[in-house]
Structure 1
Amino acid sequence: MSAREKIAYLKGLIDGQNLTDTPDKAKFYAALVDALDSLAVAIEEHEDVHEELNAYLEQLDEDVSDLEDELDELEGCECGCHDDEDDDDEYEDFDEEEYESVTCPNCGNDFYYEPALYDEDEDLVCPHCGKPFKLPEE
């Protein structure tokens, strides 16, 4: 029996037993049934949301599973175009000691530049906003 059916049964019992012989009792039982009915509505809404979220999570699980399968296929590929070692080589070329971080005074974004490539009086151009500015004093 659902919550709404139980509430309807309770309301029938109250009406059938003639428990509302005084206005105060009638008001009390009406308020009680109304409160229970509101709770039943809230429960049904939560059940709907729960079912919706469950369906969404099942779809996400399927999507992740599909992606994992695709990655497994790529790892098994013998063409050499999906080698993880190639990715590592790209990052090995970046030597942090050769670069310095700077904040653009115009847009406030941080970026790296290679000081060895710039003269002291040369302007640095921000890759974010494209505006030139003087190199910071060391």
Structure 2
Amino acid sequence: MQHLYERVSYLKGLCEGLGISEETKEGKVIGVMVDILDEFADALVELHEEQEELSEYVDSIEEDLSEIEEDFYEDEDSEFVELKCPNCGEEVEVDEELLYDEDEDIVCPACGEVIIHAQDEEYICENEEEHECCGKHNH
């Protein structure tokens, strides 16, 4: 941003070197324009410095948020199981812990139909092998 100050100083020097008098109408206009350019340079330098400070602050917040997310999600050991709704065919991800909850029906968010009733001991898996999540085979 230093180059802006240098350019405005160069322009001021040109005006003085040309002998432009601020007594004339044209000289007054050119003088005011140079002053305005100087003010713009000050404002831009100030904005640039503030933007750099904000950028550093946002980076700091982003790092802190990443640490918080790692701590928060690190404790979350839940696994999700993909089920297919027998009514509408929608693929639904279900928290593994809900599969063992005898008090909660698992409902399809797409059609609202119950996929697994709370009292059901079995459910239909897409996988032919034994699942780690439920220990059951495809039925």
Task: Give TM-score, length-normalised by structure 1.
Answer: 0.50
Give the aligned partner of residue 30 of structure 1.
Answer: 31
Secondary structure at the counterpart of residue 75 of structure 1: coil
Give the aligned partner of residue 92 of structure 2.
Answer: none
Which whole-Å CA distance do the structure 2 matches of 1:41 and 1:73 have between them? 48
More helix by share: 1
Q: Conserved in 1, the CA contact under 8 Å of 2:5 and 2:41?
A: yes
Give the aligned partner of residue 57 of structure 1.
Answer: 58
Which whole-Å CA distance do the structure 1 matches of 2:53 and 2:22 have between them? 45
Q: What is the identity percentage for the equivalent residue pairs of Structure 1 and Structure 2?
A: 34
State the Cα distance separating 1:22 from its structure 2 match.
Answer: 4.8
Residue identity matched to 1:7: V
Secondary structure at the counterpart of residue 19 of structure 1: coil
Give the aligned partner of residue 109 of structure 1.
Answer: none
State the Cα distance separating 1:85 from its structure 2 match.
Answer: 5.5
Which whole-Å CA distance do the structure 2 matches of 1:63 and 1:85 have between them? 30
Ranked by relative contact order (alpha carbons within 8 Å, sequence separation 6 or more), the top structure is 2
How many residues are paired up? Answer: 83
Q: Conserved in 1, the CA contact under 8 Å of 2:22 and 2:31?
A: no
Which whole-Å CA distance do the structure 2 matches of 1:16 and 1:25 have between them? 15
Secondary structure at the counterpart of residue 44 of structure 1: helix
Superposed CA RMSD:
2.8
Residue identity matched to 1:30: G
Per-residue CA deviations over 1:111-138 (Å, capped at 9, x if unaligned) read xxxxxxxxxxxxxxxxxxxxxxxxxxxx
Which whole-Å CA distance do the structure 1 matches of 2:35 and 2:51 have between them? 24
State the Cα distance separating 1:76 from its structure 2 match.
Answer: 4.7
Which whole-Å CA distance do the structure 1 matches of 2:37 and 2:62 have between them? 37
Task: Give TM-score, length-normalised by structure 2.
Answer: 0.50
Gaps of 5+ in 1: 78-83, 93-138
Secondary structure at the counterpart of residue 75 of structure 2: helix
Alignment of 1:15-94 (within 5 A): 15-20=16-21, 22-76=23-77
Which whole-Å CA distance do the structure 2 matches of 1:33 and 1:85 have between them? 72
Gaps of 5+ in 2: 79-95, 105-139
Which whole-Å CA distance do the structure 1 matches of 2:39 and 2:31 have between them? 12
Q: Conserved in 2, the CA contact under 8 Å of 1:4 and 1:40?
A: yes
Which whole-Å CA distance do the structure 1 matches of 2:22 and 2:35 have between them? 19
Which whole-Å CA distance do the structure 2 matches of 1:44 and 1:21 have between them? 28
